[in-house]
A = this chain, B = another copy of it.
Amino acid sequence: MKKDRNTEQDIIEAARLVFQEKGYKEATMRDIAARANINMAMVHYYFRSKENLFFMILDEAFRLLVEKIVTVLTNEELDIFEKIRTIVREYITFFSEKPYLPQFLMGEVIRNPEWIGKRMLKNMSFLTVFRTFSDQLEKEYERGTIRQISALSLLLNIISLCVFPAIIKPMAYQVNDCDNSVFDLVIEDRKTEVADFIIKAIKV
Contact = CB atoms under 8 A, between A and B. Distances in A.
A41 interface: no
A183 interface: yes
Tell me whether chain A's interface is mostly helix, strand or loop, or mixed: helix
A114 B174 contact: yes
A46 interface: no
Given A25-B26, A106-B106, A113 B173 contact: yes
A164 B175 contact: no
A159 B172 CA distance: 13
A1 interface: no
The copy count of this chain in the complex is 2
Interface stretch (A48-56, A80-88, A135-143, A189-197): A189-197
Given A116-B175, A160-B163, 19 more contacts: A22-B111, A106-B110, A107-B110, A110-B110, A113-B173, A116-B171, A118-B174, A126-B175, A127-B176, A150-B186, A150-B189, A152-B186, A153-B189, A156-B186, A157-B161, A157-B194, A163-B164, A164-B164, A200-B201
A113 B165 contact: no
Interface residues of A, number: 50
Contacts of A167: 106, 110
A22 B157 CA distance: 28
B193 A121 contact: no
Nearest to A130: B175
A157 B23 contact: no
A170 interface: yes
B164 A160 contact: yes
